[in-house]
Chains A and B, each alone.
Chain A
Amino acid sequence: MGLFDLTDLVVQRGLEGASLRQQILSNNLANANTAGFKRSDVDFQSTLASAIGSGDPAQAIANVAFQPQTDSSTTMTADGNNVDTDTEMSNLTSNALEYETLAAVEQQRFSMLKTAMGS
């Protein structure tokens, strides 16, 4: 019998997804002025939701792979760059909040385990 259940794995994968998204959004910002650059993003939440709803959630979540997508659909400047600094900053902020909330939840769960174990 393990200490950690499916929810802990989901939260952990959520943290990994948010961490990857942080990197991708930072990259978008760094290339905000690179000619021809197209922004990317990763919808880790939908990927996780699909894994949870699949036939074998434990397997699916354990092996989940997040796919960054290049976004070629948004409007572009004359040189082909489609990064909007304000949008990226807003995404960055909401992603950071998601990460921090997940981390706080995980911390609380660890704390509960410790209490139950009598420490």
Chain B
Amino acid sequence: MKPARFGYARPETLGEALALLAKHGSDAAILAGGQSLMPMLNLRMATPAILIDINDIPDLDTIADRNNQIIVGARVRHNDALHSPLLTASNSLLIHALPSVAHAAIRNRGTLGGSLALADPAAELPACAVCLGAEIAVVSQRGERVIPASDFFQGLYATALEPDEMITRVAFPLLDATWHVGFDEVARRSGDFAIAALALAVKVVDHRITECRIAFAGVENHARRLPEVETALTGSLIADLPVRGAASEVLTNVLEPLEEGQYPTSYRRYLAQVLLDRLLARISRQVHT
């Protein structure tokens, strides 16, 4: 468990980093928190020719409130996001999800951009980004692109990111008070990758769901919205149990669970239903109190 030999650069400006990326492309790996990259290097699952360490580049770790969005820098550490007054005050979905991200020590180093760029199917933050319709800003020497989260995640560890691009920031829409968000996760041990997790946002007007956003983590090979299920719920009373049951049926039909060693697909399907029911019940209780 020693990495293959690699080069190392620690640019002090974004421009320098982008020049290095343009030069090395897929031979380069960006080092931010290193919580996934370092083990992958040590296991020689990743053998980049050069690491581009972005920890000296200014302005990548800010959290700001702008145009009804919260803009989170790509290098914001999970624990800094978790303790951010802006995210807390706006009851961001991220605040609900981040305690489930690994362990405190990992959250101290791991970053938002790193988690999104890796696109681990069981990671919490891609599901949050998809659920909220976040916009992911990526930049290269060719210019900047803003990619909707639902287009960004394309498969197992696969994203829309080009080899010369890096994520700089993510814009999460601010939701008004009619929106209710929730996150829940099932894992064998605290801090483990999710067997199944759900990021949920529902807009409730007069006890009725008028809009609904659903994204799972750990269940399918990448996070995506589930419009069939969202449609099944929209328009119904939040407390309507038969509707919830019908949505659950739809859910089990549309999911394509991961086929992974330890757990049968039937378990992931079942947990997805459990999580949806749990979070709807929780939000229903909030609405009725």
Whether chains A and B associate is no
Q: Which B positions have Cβ atoms within 8 angstroms of A?
A: none
